[in-house]
Amino acid sequence: MIQPVDILNFVFIGVILFVSITLHEYSHGFVATKFGDPTPKASGRLTLNPLAHIDIFGTLILPILLLVLSSGKFAFGYAKPVPINPYHFKNPKKDILWVGLAGPAINFIIALLLTGLLKATNYLFIPEIIIEGILINLILGIFNLIPIPPLDGSRVLSAILPYKLSYLYLKMETIGSFIIILLIMIGFLKWFMLPIVGSIFSLLNIKAAI
């Protein structure tokens, strides 16, 4: 039987995840727009409305599945990538790099702000929820930096590669999506991501077991 506290954890973690994913995607669109690309706004993605960024599997099915499997203790997800047209950029190779880094950067900033809140309140104000928020944002930031299309790391790597090689590399996006799902299914988050996050928790002196 599901206890009320479990349901409450589901709700809180779900809200944290939705907010974090929304800010992640919005930051991509915001930076791209600042560099002269009207595509995010034209496609309705330059918004803080979570509904505009939902991916059926990544934002709904996957987080719910992980919440159930972890008894309401952990969730992870992703949203639809914000459409970007680098041909609108003055310096496509350089600008796409900053657009790619914008999403993970906002997650790391959120994690640092939540860490500050945790320390300032001396673990007395909903510490479990705040720690979960830090965990989710660190995983979102790190995972998205993996250079597998369509993750943000692929945009960063494509900015470094020569044009022809970059074009061929980004065409792997369809295959990349299957690779990402496969990595999640074989426990990539547990055996690769969580040790990294655990090290960051130690660095930040966060009192929590990962």
Residues noted as catalytic: 25
At 142, list the tokens: 């790190």
CB atoms within 10 A of CB 125: 11
Could you tell me how many residues make up the chain? 210
Dihedral sign, CA of 108, 166, 86, 58? negative
**How far is residue 35 CA from its own chain's centroid?**
22
Helix (H, G, I), strand (E, B) or coil at 88: helix
3-state SS assignment for residue 37: coil
195 burial class (0-12, 13-18, 19+ CB within 10 angstroms)? exposed
Q: Which residue has 């044009």 as its token pair? A: 163
Give the H or E element holding residue 177.
helix 173-185
CB 84 within 8 A of CB 136: no
